[in-house]
């Protein structure tokens, strides 16, 4: 069976939750949540270093604004559609609701290969996006953050472009999160997603009677989420057995030296060729026995094809949508629990919320305060979802979706209908 698209997977997960909530929620509200609020396609024609204008497609989707302004990262990827961004925006709606921040769900994307750009061209592309999407980005409309292919530096360019467009030295309020601390960012935002994944992994290991010390982890993806997760798990005594990225994968059964791997990847642009490990096929790495498998790269990586051979004791979804619904079913039958993405990687959006409030109130938060609040919130929501899953005898994904969809429905109900 061909894998379904990101949007189809998001819709599938939503329909499961909608069925579980039948009779509890007004069908009109269920229908409202089924459809995105707004989908925008923007064409960009920045002039790059060769002096020529190049064409790029870009998208901004606001799936829901029931709880507040749409929140969600901006990604740069070579193959991506408006539907993919819609599916990811829908996931953001549930993530914000589940983690308890007053944001709706959004996402944006630029169709381009980030690895093909010089620093100059990437900055030009990002600034072109910010200029062209100026009507769609604001603290009360949509607030982007880093995602695949974008980073802290790019968020700084977005803030600068938007202040410049208004003729101001800075923006009034928070237009973008995950920006450099010197420009009003918050300490610990870059690490927030990976640290949140680590908190979930530790709690989930405890549920199966294991501690993090000595636990073996395998990660797919060594960008922001993957590298921070690997480092923070290693700091707590886990063994990082293998890591894959787009170019290759490395494995060492005694555990990789993550800091040395990071230094190698910074130089080589990939984990491939790391001398203190053996090379392994990228796909094969996902099937190597381990305590926890952490997909932290792209969507639809654990599928009906490889799920029967996954040999992890649990899966922690660092990436958005890495497990297809068919794979979910297979893993459930095999008794392999999954910490769903909307819980597992929600640390980033939670700390984005702290950045948003800090900027709105013109305050400054310390990194230790950010870390403490992140740890508390993720732990609390993890157990809330776990208990709901146990009580209703459903998966953690269904429980997380149930909680999130109910919360958004409550907000829609409270807003009422415009005449
Ligand atoms: P990134 O661009 O920093 O890193 C992506 C990594 O994945 C790179 O190492 C890349 O080589 C690797 N990769 C891509 N496709 C791959 C494939 N098919 N097989 C193996 N490796 C592959 O991106 P990121 O910010 O770390 O995001 C990773 C995932 O986490 C995405 O799904 C993103 O939506 C999700 N996420 C990110 C954040 C955040 O704060 N950055 C928050 C929540 C969720």
**Is the backbone of residue 37 left (phi > 0), alpha (psi -120 to 50) or beta?**
alpha
Residue 14: the pLDDT is 97
- Give dist(CA 286, CA 284) in Å, integer: 5
Residue 417: the pLDDT is 82
| One fold for 35-187 and 190-344 | yes
Which atom of ligand 1 has the smallest separation from the CA of 245?
21
Which atom of ligand 1 has the smallest separation from the CA of 224?
26
Helix (H, G, I), strand (E, B) or coil at 332: helix
- Give dist(CA 149, CA 110) in Å, integer: 10
Which residue's CA lies nearest to atom 19 of ligand 1?
A: 246
For every residue of 258-302, DSSP letters joined together read HHHHHHHHHHHSSSTT-TTSEEE-HHHHTTS-EEEEEE-S-SS-B
Respond yes or no: is residue 107 known to be catalytic. yes
> For the chain, which residues make up each domain, given as ranges?
35-187, 190-344
Which atom of ligand 1 has the smallest separation from the CA of 318?
30
State whether the beta carbon of 302 lies less than 6 angstroms from ligand 1.
Answer: no
Whether the predicted pLDDT of 419 surpasses 80: no
Q: How far is CA 184 from CA 99, 152, 193, in A?
A: 23, 12, 19
Instruction: Give the mean model confidence (pLDDT) for residues 184-193.
Output: 96
Of 90, 113, 221, the one to substitute when testing ligand 1's pocket (max ligand atoms within 8 A of C-beta) is: 221
If one looks up domain 35-187 in CATH, what number appears?
3.40.50.10860
Instruction: Give the mean model confidence (pLDDT) for residues 248-274.
Output: 98
Of 48, 49, 57, the residue nearest 132 (C-alpha): 57
Q: pTM for the full model?
A: 0.96
- Give dist(CA 402, CA 392) in Å, integer: 10
Q: Which two tokens stand for residue 198?
A: 């680590």
Helix (H) or strand (E) holding 117: none
Instruction: Give the mean model confidence (pLDDT) for residues 305-334.
Output: 97
- pLDDT tens readout for residues 79-113: 999 999 999 999 999 999 999 999 999 999 999 99
Q: How far is CA 206 from CA 194, 200, 202, 210, 319, in A?
A: 19, 10, 6, 5, 22
- Give dist(CA 327, CA 353) in Å, integer: 32
Mean pLDDT (the chain) is 96
Which residue's CA lies nearest to atom 32 of ligand 1?
A: 319
Instruction: Give the mean model confidence (pLDDT) for residues 136-142.
Output: 97
Whether the predicted pLDDT of 2 surpasses 70: no
If one looks up domain 190-344 in CATH, what number appears?
3.40.50.720
Residue 3: the pLDDT is 61
For every residue of 138-198, DSSP letters joined together read BTTTEE--B-TT--HHHHHHHHHHHHHHHT-SS-SS-S-SS--GGGT--TTHHHHHHHHHH
Q: Which regions of 261-406 does DSSP assign to beta strands (E)?
A: 278-280, 290-295, 312-316, 338-339
Q: Helix %, strand %, coil % for the chain, to 5?
A: 50, 15, 35
Residue 1: the pLDDT is 42
| Site of tokens 């269920």 | 30
- Give dist(CA 360, CA 374) in Å, integer: 19
Question: Which entry of 107, 122, 159, 231 is annotated as an active-site residue?
Answer: 107
Instruction: Give the mean model confidence (pLDDT) for residues 206-232.
Output: 97
How do strand 216-220 and strand 290-295 relate by DSSP bridges?
Answer: parallel
Phi/psi of residue 365, each to 5°?
Answer: -110, 145
């Amino acid at each position: 069976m061909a894998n379904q698209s990101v949007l189809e997977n998001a819709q599938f997960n939503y329909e499961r939750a909608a069925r579980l909530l039948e009779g509890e929620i007004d069908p009109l509200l269920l229908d409202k949540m089924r459809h995105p609020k707004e989908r925008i396609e923007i064409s960009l024609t920045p002039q790059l270093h060769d002096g020529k204008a190049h064409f790029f497609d870009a998208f901004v989707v606001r799936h829901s604004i029931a709880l507040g302004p749409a929140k969600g990262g901006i990604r740069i990827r070579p193959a991506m559609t408006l539907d993919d961004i819609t599916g990811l925006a829908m996931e953001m709606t549930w993530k914000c609701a589940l983690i308890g921040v007053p944001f709706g769900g959004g996402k944006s994307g630029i169709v381009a290969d980030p690895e093909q750009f010089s620093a100059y061209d990437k900055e030009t592309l990002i600034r072109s996006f910010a200029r062209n999407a100026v009507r769609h980005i604001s603290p009360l409309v949509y607030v982007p953050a880093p995602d695949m292919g974008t980073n802290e530096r790019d968020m700084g360019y977005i803030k600068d472009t938007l202040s410049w467009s208004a003729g101001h030295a800075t923006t009034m309020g928070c237009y973008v999160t995950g920006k450099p601390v010197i420009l009003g960012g918050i300490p610990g935002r870059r690490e927030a997603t990976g640290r949140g994944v680590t908190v979930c992994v530790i709690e989930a290991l405890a549920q199966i009677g294991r501690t993090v010390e000595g636990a073996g982890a395998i990660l797919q993806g060594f960008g922001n989420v993957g590298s921070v997760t690997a480092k923070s798990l290693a700091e707590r005594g886990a063994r990082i057995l293998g890591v894959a990225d787009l170019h290759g994968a490395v494995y060492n059964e005694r555990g990789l030296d993550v800091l040395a791997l990071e230094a190698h990847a910074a130089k080589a642009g990939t984990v491939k060729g790391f001398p203190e490990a053996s090379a392994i096929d990228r796909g094969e790495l996902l099937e190597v026995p381990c305590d926890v498998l952490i997909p932290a790269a792209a969507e639809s990586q654990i599928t009906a094809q490889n799920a029967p051979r996954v040999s992890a004791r649990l899966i922690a979804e660092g990436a958005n949508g890495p497990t297809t619904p068919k794979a979910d079913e297979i893993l459930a039958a095999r008794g392999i629990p999954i910490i769903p993405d909307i819980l597992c990687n929600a640390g980033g959006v939670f700390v984005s919320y702290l950045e948003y409030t800090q900027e709105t109130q013109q305050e400054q938060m310390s990194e230790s305060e950010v870390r403490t609040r992140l740890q508390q919130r993720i732990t609390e929501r993890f157990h809330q979802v776990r208990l709901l899953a146990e009580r209703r005898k459903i998966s953690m994904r269904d429980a997380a979706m149930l909680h999130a969809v109910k919360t958004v429905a409550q907000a829609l109900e409270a807003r009422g209908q415009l005449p």
